[in-house]
Structure 1
Amino acid sequence: MAAIWRQGFPIPAKRLAAALLPAVLLAGCLGEQSALLPPQRPSDGELAPRIGSAIQRASDSEHQRLLSAFGGEYRAPQVRAVLDDIVARLAKAGEGQIGTYEITILNSPIVNAFALPTGRLYVTRGLLALANDTSEIASVMAHEIAHVTAHHAVERAEAEAESAVVSQVVSQVLNDPVAGAAVQAGSKLSLARFSRQQELAADQISVRNISRAGYDPYGAGRFLAALGRNTSFRNAAQGQSGNDKKLDILSSHPSTPERVAAVTSAARQIGAPGIGEREASRWLSAIDGIAYGDDPSDGVVRGKRYLNSALRISFAAPDGFDLESARDMVIGVSSNNAQALRFDSVTLKPGQTLESYVASGWIDGVTTGPVETLEVGGQPAVLASGKGTDWTFRLAAIQAGSRVYRFILAARGAADPERPMRAVLDSFRTLTAAEAQATRPLQLRLVAADGDNLASLAGRMAVQDRPVELFLLLNGLERGSKLTPGQRYKIVTE
């Protein structure tokens, strides 16, 4: 994947791609451990609800594309066992046709869940980490099932299949998520959404359904509130206001406060708080040890250093930069937003040299200067300067066999970013096989409070970005909350 450059400034492509990925048969709804189990089909041999063969074939194709776009399936047998039990109970208690649903956990830190008209349900491991009991995760699955049983997904699929514009969007987004996101941002995203009325209806159905299945109906409100806090946390990390949702998974939904109020009202019509099953211990035990954050094979950030175990490379950010990784790329922005860094890799054409590649017009609209030949990390490399309308660039390319690692460092105005670029190149190195193997995902772990307070437990987190705020978010706590001695809490560890 690559970053999207808008007016010379890089936008995190991963978030845009995640926001725009929903396609003809797909709509995102929210936001170490088993192979996808084959469906247990009812007697008529069909997944629920009954659907046309054309949609079934498209769903099969969409399933594979989803796996590719979201890092494949994440194997988590303990989590899958709980989810299977929850969905089985929801299906029996559901409104409309009772059927069988296939669950896939996606290996992505993005917080989201999806439904296909065929009854295929998808949830990212990023979303799993936010839930704190079975009623909360049951509300997510019930919401997706509601879209299926109420035929929302089929209606959306049929409407979008008739639109030539959306067909183009689907092709661009699924074949090249970044390019599709760059071109189609804005009005075309709305074509891939469920309607506001459908979302609110699915919320209402989910509250009734989890209650009939024996779960706490107030779990829906708690989890929606957690999604809202997650949005604010992520936006604040990007220098956006907590209400800026243009890149957020909830941007396609009614506002979080509106949804929380609606599901809370629906729960009150069922009974007072305290009814229904929550089973916090069971859920927390299931997610204990799941991966948290980016997969090292896609590239991860550890402090100021970027590591990619698949490419077996590492480099450090310039002073004052914050990095964010995505698949095979990384972007960074200086604290004053005056400079931006992008890294990715390409393959040279047969007979093409590094010098000719950099001079051939790497970035549209940027005129490059003389090319300097040098060695970086024991590999041949070149460095060049460039000038655009509003930005001054330093471009570097490092060759490792047929692969070329590319760095772009842009500075607003006429300031030459040569010094920070050379610092990046000086930090670049190849990881040994042992180092690459040792680069593992962060994990979500449970620890019991034993004389701890918020600060001390948050201090054990293996993250540098606002650990106290992240600890509160993961555990559904408010600032100033008192920890309960002996109770288990989620932390992120190496």
Structure 2
Amino acid sequence: MSALFDSLKRPLGVLAVFAVLLPLLGACATAPGTGRTIFTGGLSEEGEAELGRKEHPKVMAQYGGSYTDPELNAYVTSVGNFLAQTSELPDLKFTFTILDSPVVNAFALPGGYVYITRGLLALAGNEAEMAGVLAHEIGHVTARHTAERYGQSMAANIAGAGLGVLLGGPAAQAGGTLGALLVRSYSREQEFEADMLGGRYLGRARYDTRAMAGFLTQLQGHSRLEAALAGQPEKADAFNIMQTHPRTADRIERALQQAGVNPVADPIRAREIYFQKIDGMLYGDKPEEGYIRGRSFAHPKLKFAFEVPEGFRLYNQSRQVLARNSDGSAAIVFDRAPKAYDGSMTDYLANVWGQKLRLSGLEAIEVNGLKAATAGASNGRQDLRLLTLRYDAKTIYRFLFITKPDQTAGFNRGFRETTYSFRRLSDAEAAKLKPRRVRIYEVKAGDNPGKIAARMPFAEENLKRFLVLNGFDENVVLQRGQSVKIIAE
């Protein structure tokens, strides 16, 4: 502390501190949505719009672009614009995008860029629920939460720089780290504000304001199911949109009360219209990413397929396919080599992919007519089995099998079967692979949830998937003529 006081006693030290802290003054603004004064760090509304324009292409690339259904896109945009016109920024040009992703998510960028995934659209039960999601994201824009987070980061960095003047570099670095933590996600207070504003816009547009809390319950049911299917029921939050949007149904209700949002008489729900719009929408993985079908993975565009051992679950990720067993003690990672290689597969494995490993038992093999090579390795904690396959002159595929040393022998047979399950698909086989789609089904006499769920093409938990997809509990009684969502190929 004496160094701090000594610096303040010196005129130059005082001037340095004020020079660093001066940018904190005069960089405040009033958020249109809340009327609250926020520190923006000098980020203007024009700057927010420019930031949104720059980040938009990155979002599109990360999520696989927009979903190419003009009618559905026009529908979502019309609902979004209707809500935006009720906001405090009716003249802001909002851009609403359906992302071509099965992940259940929605978010907004500054400048009016609002995103909703087709995965979330499949889960919503009516137009009011979709509108509630859009209204919440519009609320983040009108409250200028991104500018506020930017201001928080700037304040932390400037404060850190000020401490750096007085105490040296490490303090400045600590300030920068704090700033990064502050902008990592929206705070609970900001989510509360977005719910207040979203409820306000829903009410002004005559939508059912209860849809916000009701849909949140369905989102939480979906996250629990996904976690259970992944063999990690204790990690439901990791499969939940609420991981980035910390909210509860009770908190949403309090937000609506605090905002003075009253229930709307004869509110818009538009369930049947919504069902008509999403009927036929792609569900799950798209053809460009390949399909998981039980323990099999097949790619209709790249024309190959393989199967993982019994007890393993597959996960299709952007750059790889992952499989792991129920307790997570063993895993399989499949991907495509980033670059072409002209040499043999043994040379590639030894000199490129496995060059930093101490390989053992390196050998050339053949897998269903494809040149391949395999070798073992260990990092002390895990045993590794590497496999490379040349698909064609430009394409090499790779498997990495990972086990605990004391369990490796027990997985050898299953991993060998996976190795020799890899094969090319003929044009006819690839053409038979079809994506899954949301379909609207009319309940017939004698139907029950179990009977309808049996129509769906999943390998497990069809009934639970059907109930979550429709927001039903286990005691639901279906009525003849009722419309429900199912998944079909």
TM range (shorter): 0.7 to 0.9
The CA distance in 2 between the partners of 1:258 and 1:356, in whole Å, is 61
1:375 and 2:366 are equivalent in the alignment: yes
- What does residue 308 of structure 1 align with? 299
| Superposition pairs of residues 179-190 of structure 1, within 5 angstroms | none
Cα pair distance change 1:188/1:485, threshold 3 Å: farther
The CA distance in 1 between the partners of 2:329 and 2:281, in whole Å, is 37
Of 52, 56, 59, the residue aligned with 1:63 is 56
- What does residue 245 of structure 1 align with? 237
- What does residue 191 of structure 1 align with? 183
TM-score (structure 1 length as normaliser): 0.79
Residue 249 of structure 1: how far off its partner (Å):
2.9
1:279 and 2:279 are equivalent in the alignment: no
Residue 468 of structure 1: how far off its partner (Å):
0.9
Residue 410 of structure 1: how far off its partner (Å):
1.5
The CA distance in 2 between the partners of 1:86 and 1:72, in whole Å, is 21
- What does residue 421 of structure 1 align with? 415
Residue 361 of structure 1: how far off its partner (Å):
7.2
Cα displacement string for residues 425-454 of structure 1 (whole angstroms, at most 9, x for unaligned residues): 221111223433432321000101102101
- What does residue 122 of structure 1 align with? 115
The CA distance in 2 between the partners of 1:282 and 1:83, in whole Å, is 12
Cα displacement string for residues 380-439 of structure 1 (whole angstroms, at most 9, x for unaligned residues): 001111222122222110012222111011221232343222201221111223433432
Cα pair distance change 1:96/1:54, threshold 3 Å: closer
The CA distance in 1 between the partners of 2:93 and 2:372, in whole Å, is 55
Cα pair distance change 1:211/1:333, threshold 3 Å: same
Q: Is the 8 A contact 1:106 1:125 kept in 2?
A: yes
- What does residue 288 of structure 1 align with? 279
- What does residue 145 of structure 1 align with? 138
What amino acid is aligned across from residue 95 of structure 2 in structure 1?
E
- What does residue 94 of structure 1 align with? 87
1:462 and 2:457 are equivalent in the alignment: yes
Residue 335 of structure 1: how far off its partner (Å):
3.0
- What does residue 483 of structure 1 align with? 478
The CA distance in 2 between the partners of 1:187 and 1:359, in whole Å, is 44
Residue 457 of structure 1: how far off its partner (Å):
0.7
The CA distance in 1 between the partners of 2:279 and 2:347, in whole Å, is 51
Aligned residues with identical type, % of pairs: 31
The CA distance in 2 between the partners of 1:362 and 1:261, in whole Å, is 54
- What does residue 435 of structure 1 align with? 429
- What does residue 12 of structure 2 align with? none
- More displaced 10-residue stretch of structure 1: 282-291 or 366-375: 366-375
Residue 110 of structure 1: how far off its partner (Å):
0.5
Q: Is the 8 A contact 1:298 1:308 kept in 2?
A: yes
Residue 210 of structure 1: how far off its partner (Å):
0.5
- What does residue 385 of structure 1 align with? 376
TM-score (structure 2 length as normaliser): 0.80
- More displaced 10-residue stretch of structure 1: 327-336 or 308-317: 327-336
Of 205, 220, 227, the residue aligned with 1:228 is 220
Name the SS of the counterpart of 1:198 in structure 2: helix
- More displaced 10-residue stretch of structure 1: 394-403 or 125-134: 394-403
Of 285, 290, 310, the residue aligned with 1:299 is 290
Name the SS of the counterpart of 1:270 in structure 2: coil
Cα pair distance change 1:77/1:361, threshold 3 Å: closer
What amino acid is aligned across from residue 425 of structure 2 in structure 1?
L
Of 254, 274, 277, the residue aligned with 1:262 is 254
The CA distance in 1 between the partners of 2:433 and 2:403, in whole Å, is 32
Q: Which has the larger radius of gyration?
A: 2
Of 397, 400, 411, the residue aligned with 2:403 is 411
Residue 59 of structure 1: how far off its partner (Å):
2.1
Cα pair distance change 1:265/1:54, threshold 3 Å: closer
1:216 and 2:211 are equivalent in the alignment: no
**What are structure 1's unaligned runs of at least 5 residues?**
1-49, 165-185
Q: Is the 8 A contact 2:67 2:118 kept in 1?
A: yes
Q: Is the 8 A contact 1:217 1:267 kept in 2?
A: no
Cα displacement string for residues 31-85 of structure 1 (whole angstroms, at most 9, x for unaligned residues): xxxxxxxxxxxxxxxxxxx955544343223111111110111012332232222
- What does residue 344 of structure 2 align with? 353
The CA distance in 1 between the partners of 2:412 and 2:308, in whole Å, is 14
Cα pair distance change 1:446/1:340, threshold 3 Å: same
Cα displacement string for residues 452-485 of structure 1 (whole angstroms, at most 9, x for unaligned residues): 1010011111112311111111111111110121
- What does residue 100 of structure 2 align with? 107
What amino acid is aligned across from residue 259 of structure 1 in structure 2?
R
Residue 105 of structure 1: how far off its partner (Å):
0.7
**What are structure 2's unaligned runs of at least 5 residues?**
1-42, 158-177
Residue 313 of structure 1: how far off its partner (Å):
1.1
Residue 136 of structure 1: how far off its partner (Å):
0.5
The CA distance in 2 between the partners of 1:97 and 1:73, in whole Å, is 25
Cα pair distance change 1:269/1:94, threshold 3 Å: closer
Report which structure shows greater RCO (CA 8 Å, sep ≥6): 1
The CA distance in 2 between the partners of 1:455 and 1:126, in whole Å, is 23
1:449 and 2:443 are equivalent in the alignment: yes
- More displaced 10-residue stretch of structure 1: 281-290 or 192-201: 192-201
- What does residue 9 of structure 2 align with? none
Residue 356 of structure 1: how far off its partner (Å):
2.6
